[in-house]
Structure 1
Amino acid sequence: MANTVEWPLRLSLVEEDGTTTARVVLRTRNATFTGHGTARRSPEDPDVPEIGDEIAAGRAMRDLAGQLLRTADDELEGVGAAPPRRERRVAYGWTSEPA
C-alpha cells in the first residue's frame, strides 16, 4: 500500500545592497529544519536580483539537505544500521594507498 506524506516548506529571500539571504524552513512529522544561504553580487556584475535569489535559495536548500541526511544517518545508527560509507576521493595526483 502506498503512503503519501507532504512536508510544508517555506522559503524567504531578502536582498539588500547586493547581498541576498535565503532561509528555508521544513517541517516534518517529528522535527523542524532550517537551512540558510547567501549570495553576494560583485560590484562589477549587472544587477539581476533573480540570479542572487536562485543562488541563495540553492545554497539554503543544500544546507537543508545536509541536515536531513545527517539526521537520517544518526537515526540509522540509532536502530543499529550503519550509515553509508563515506568515500575518500583523491582529486588528482598519486594516492598513498597501495595498488
Structure 2
Amino acid sequence: MTEDEDSVRKDWTVQIAIDEYDGRTRATATLRGRGQETTGIGLARCNPADADIADIGDELAVARALAALVQQLRTSTVHDIEESTHQPVTALR
C-alpha cells in the first residue's frame, strides 16, 4: 500500500513486562494509543511436578495478558458502537 494525501497513520504500541517470583510468572501488557492506556495482566505458575522452563511460563503469561487486552478492546468497541448507534451489539461478543 502506498501512502497518499488521504492516508492517515495511527501508531499504537504494546509494551510487555515480565517478572517472576516464587515459581510464578506475571506479564503486564500495556497498550498505548489515542492518548489512552489499557493494561492486561497474565499469570502463569509452574506445576511442581513439571520441569521449570522459564520460556514456557513467559509465553503463557504473555498470551494471557494479551488475551486480557483483547477482551478489554472488544468491550470498549461494543460500548462505543452502542453509544453511537443506540442499538445493542451482538456480533462482536
Which TM-score bucket, shorter chain as reference? 0.7 to 0.9
Query: Normalising by structure 2, what TM-score?
Result: 0.83
CA distance in 2, matches of 1:31, 1:83: 25
Structure with the largest fraction of strand: 2
What residue identity is the alignment partner of 2:15? R
Share of identical aligned residues, percent? 34
Q: Where does structure 1 differ by over 2 angstroms across 4 or more consecutive aligned residues?
A: 1-4, 81-84
Q: 1:75: how far off? A: 0.4
Runs of 5+ consecutive residues of structure 1 not aligned to the other structure: 87-99
Q: 1:30: how far off? A: 3.9
For 1:79-98, list aligned pairs within 5 A. 79-80=84-85, 82=87, 84-85=89-90
| Structure of greater Rg | 1
Runs of 5+ consecutive residues of structure 2 not aligned to the other structure: 1-5
Pairing 1:17–2:31 present: no
Q: CA RMSD, aligned part only?
A: 1.8
